[in-house]
Structure 1
Amino acid sequence: MSINISSHFVFELDEPTDCLMQFEAASLPEQEISSVRTLLDPSDTAVRVPAQDGIGERIWMRAKGRVEVSYEAEATIARIAPDMSSLDQLPTHMLPGEAVQYLLDSRYCRADQFQHFVASRFGSSTGGKRVAAIRDWVAHNFSYVPGSSNVQTDAAESFITRQGICRDYAHMVVALARASTIPARYVAGYAPGVSPQDFHALAEVFLADPNNAGGGTWQLVDATGMASAMDTVKIGVGRDAADVSFLTTFGPNRFLESRVSVHGN
């Protein structure tokens, strides 16, 4: 599937400030990125560094005043997405080192708070069946309400209010999967079915690879129902939203404007 992407955002800084950005689609075996056009104004201090797990790149910039960022690209997706319910759970001693960090608590996803809940609510299932049950539970019990959460809202608060946006849905799935001893990480991406259109967030879980005995595979999960594995273009991954924000400034900023457009062909 081919996906056309366009994003644009503007912010302002009163003093020279370090900024870390991650908004470009990652070049991966499962998604080929072409026709790339990135414009940074100003651009004289921009430096690229590898992002979390080597998926995508982050851009460092030190700037003052108005900063304008524009990005356009085309992505062709060739991702394998087996039926989630058919995938087994890997024993913890067989998890590769890079997956273990995604069992641990993070800023927005305190999995230890949900261990009793997942045992009582999903105790009859394991592996992909449990992930599918978690996805369906979040989809059924949460309401998508723009403006109902903020940058401080974590999975525990979302669990209480049962509402939020894609970021909150992803944090909830990640926390419940980790509480089930299934590695889970947060994914930032672009997807054509998102409404209102914006940078999208979903979860990704590490389960047994049906085509590689003893191996594992990362599988996308979107409890909002707005995106699927076959139309999501990954930007980056992290423990939660703090790791993969499209903009992090190490000082005050005024965010002025943001536009995202994603279309599938």
Structure 2
Amino acid sequence: MTAAATVTLSIHSHLVYDYAEPTDILVQVEAAHRADQVPHAPELWLTPVTHFTRVPGHDEVGERVWLRTEGRMALDYKARMAITRPAIDLAALPGTDPRLLPGEVIDYLMPSRFCPSDRFVEFVSSEFADLSGGACVAALRDWVAGSMTYVPGVSHAGTCATDTFVQRQGVCRDYAHLLISLLRAASIPARYASVYAPDVTPPDFHAVAEVFVDGAWHLVDATGMANASDIALIGVGRDAADIPFLSSFGQATFVEQFVTVERFS
């Protein structure tokens, strides 16, 4: 493990949607406050709403916000995040037998909506049988990175890891779902992480995997666009269904959206 240097990110996300009727909305766009990432002067600006309540994020990582609004809703989130996360040599981390895992990570061994890991057990067993722990994580990350091509527009909201395995194309969400599925098939707990990262092209909310190895969670990006040392974690879940940045419980019309993330010095 390399000593951690502090990286500061300047984050700005901007969302605008129209709602023809009063609508409940669940938003998760704010970077989580944790020991390894601390927000400075965070701001969440909204057009007037009739309801605003904060609730915990999945696994108590970050916060979600319940809103109720009608008409045009504009949201701006800005923060400077100080990230102090040591560089880890994943390949050197030992594995843990499933029976010895803590109870709170067991769900992340199981198949989920976009990560049907049970369909990949035979493939992982045949191609990566001699690997375990961090060495297996690194090998699966490298396999996904080498087998996939980053192509926007070829996948959609219903695309799951089996589709991506066949197409070998997709965006960050697809890379994350495939890697998570392969990791779970190897009996390694893995979850989906929504993040901000400075070198994502095109700039947007980014998705990576988070894997539980040697008693801790570690961020892993198979696209190669983000490093754990400069990722700002927003929230986690079994897959993308658990942590959309915005869920509308009624009809919504998209107007505009952008995300900017820059290293600040």
Q: TM-score, normalised by structure 1?
A: 0.95
What is residue 256 of structure 1 aligned with on the other side?
255
Unpaired runs of at least 5, structure 2: 1-6
Instruction: Give 1:80 shift.
Output: 2.6
What is residue 146 of structure 1 aligned with on the other side?
152
Q: Secondary structure at the match of 2:259?
A: strand
Q: Deviations over 1:112-147 (max 9, x none)?
A: 000001011111211111111111111111110111
Q: Deviations over 1:57-81 (max 9, x none)?
A: 0011122211111010000111133
Q: Deviations over 1:157-194 (max 9, x none)?
A: 11110110000000011000000000000000100010
Q: Is the 8 A contact 2:190 2:209 kept in 1?
A: yes
Q: Distance in 1 between matches of 2:162 and 2:20?
A: 35
Q: What letter matches 1:29 in structure 2? A: A
Percent of pairs with identical residues: 49
What is residue 243 of structure 2 aligned with on the other side?
244
Q: Distance in 1 between matches of 2:219 and 2:147?
A: 20
Q: TM-score, normalised by structure 2?
A: 0.95
Q: Distance in 2 between matches of 1:252 and 1:6?
A: 26
Q: Distance in 2 between matches of 1:234 and 1:204?
A: 10
Alignment size in residue pairs: 258
Q: Is the 8 A contact 1:203 1:221 kept in 2?
A: yes
Q: Distance in 2 between matches of 1:264 and 1:244?
A: 25
Out of 50, 53, 59, the position equivalent to 1:47 is 53
Q: Distance in 2 between matches of 1:91 and 1:126?
A: 9
Q: Distance in 1 between matches of 2:190 and 2:17?
A: 32
Q: Is the 8 A contact 2:50 2:69 kept in 1?
A: no
Instruction: Give 1:42 shift.
Output: 2.4
* 1:12-91 mapped onto 2 (5 Å cutoff): 12-91=18-97
Out of 150, 171, 178, the position equivalent to 1:165 is 171
What is residue 222 of structure 2 aligned with on the other side?
223
What is residue 192 of structure 1 aligned with on the other side?
198
Instruction: Give 1:91 shift.
Output: 1.4
Q: Distance in 2 between matches of 1:150 and 1:16?
A: 28
Q: Distance in 2 between matches of 1:79 and 1:137?
A: 25
Q: Distance in 1 between matches of 2:212 and 2:9?
A: 25
Q: Is the 8 A contact 2:46 2:75 kept in 1?
A: yes
Q: Secondary structure at the match of 2:258?
A: strand
Q: Distance in 1 between matches of 2:150 and 2:173?
A: 10
What is residue 183 of structure 2 aligned with on the other side?
177
